[in-house]
């Protein structure tokens, strides 16, 4: 019986030679304290307004929180409102930027932010293709309930582009560690 490696090598064109490496999702590790944020373009307000994560979070202290989807119950009733309501306290603790990231389109994120009064407080950023979410290994397949890959629920404190602390929700539905009040204790 032929091994999987032998089968793969035997089916490759003869001109391809060398050592073959493969990676799997199992080898990926979620972003952690001390890691630098990847530089990815997100969108704010519309598809023509790109915002680089490096430009936005590269200097100063920022709080980033992510939600599985705009206009969903926990996200709209508890998670995002907590950051909007506690914006002044976050600023008092030296936070320059508060941003919400979701795998949604920029129009939805803009409308959601306006519906909650986030305009001058929380930057509502669309990770349209989940590029940022995948690079930090926070993607979750919610196809059955939200139509595709979305972000896990988390919050992180970033200073000068480096993750200082991160809190990811274990079940993605509640707010056990990523609420604004939890993050304020980390500042």
Instruction: Please name which of 162, 163, 156 lies closest in space to residue 178, comparing C-alpha atoms.
Output: 156
Residue 180 placed within a domain: yes
Beta-carbon contacts of residue 149 (< 8 Å; ≥ 6 apart) = 103, 130, 133, 134, 139, 140, 141, 142, 143
Residues across the chain: 187
Give me the domain span that covers residue 120. 29-184
Which pLDDT score, from 0 to 100, does residue 147 have? 87
Residue 18 placed within a domain: no
Sequential pLDDT tens for the chain (187 residues)? 444 444 334 434 444 343 333 333 444 568 999 999 999 999 999 999 999 999 999 999 999 999 999 999 999 999 999 999 999 999 999 999 999 999 999 999 999 999 999 999 999 999 999 999 999 999 999 988 888 899 999 999 999 999 999 999 998 778 999 999 999 999 9
Which pLDDT score, from 0 to 100, does residue 145 have? 85
65: left (phi over 0), alpha (psi -120 to 50) or beta: beta
Residue 107 placed within a domain: yes
Contact 156, 167 (CB under 8 A): yes
Residue 55 placed within a domain: yes
Residue 10 placed within a domain: no
The domain total for the chain is: 1
Residue 11 placed within a domain: no
Q: Is this prediction's pTM over 0.85?
A: no
List, as one string, the DSSP characters of the chain.
Answer: ---HHHHHHHHS-TT--S------GGG-----TTPBPP--EEESSSTT-EEEHHHHHSSSEEEEEE-S-TT-HHIIIIIHHHHHHTHHHHHHTT--EEEEEESS-HHHHHHHHHHHT-TTTEEEEE-TTSHHHHHTT-EEE-HHHHSSEEEPPEEEEEETTEEEEEEE-SSSSS-SS-SHHHHHTT-
Catalytic residue, chosen from 70, 75, 95, 175, is 75
Instruction: Please name which of 170, 167, 171 lies closest in space to residue 182, comparing C-alpha atoms.
Output: 167
Which pLDDT score, from 0 to 100, does residue 29 have? 67
Residue 77 placed within a domain: yes
CATH, residue 125: 3.40.30.10
Which pLDDT score, from 0 to 100, does residue 109 have? 98
Residue 6 placed within a domain: no
Is residue 100 flagged as an active site residue? no
Which pLDDT score, from 0 to 100, does residue 30 have? 86
């Amino acid at each position: 019986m032929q091994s999987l490696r032998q089968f793969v090598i035997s089916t490759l064109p003869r001109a391809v030679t060398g050592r073959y490496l493969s990676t799997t999702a199992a080898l990926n590790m979620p972003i952690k304290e001390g890691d630098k944020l990847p530089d990815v373009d997100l969108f704010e307000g519309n598809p023509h307004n790109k915002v680089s994560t490096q430009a936005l979070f590269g200097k100063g202290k920022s709080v980033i929180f992510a939600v599985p989807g705009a206009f969903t119950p926990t996200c709209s009733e508890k998670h995002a409102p907590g950051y909007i309501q506690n914006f002044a306290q976050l600023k008092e603790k030296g936070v320059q930027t508060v941003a919400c990231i979701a795998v949604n389109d920029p129009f939805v994120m803009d409308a959601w932010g306006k519906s909650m009064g986030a305009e001058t407080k929380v930057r509502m950023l669309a990770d349209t293709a989940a590029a940022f979410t995948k690079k930090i290994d926070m993607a979750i397949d919610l196809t059955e309930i939200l139509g595709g890959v979305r972000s896990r629920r988390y919050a992180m404190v970033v200073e000068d582009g480096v993750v200082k602390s991160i809190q990811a929700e274990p079940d993605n539905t509640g707010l056990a560690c990523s609420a604004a009040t939890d993050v304020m204790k980390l500042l």
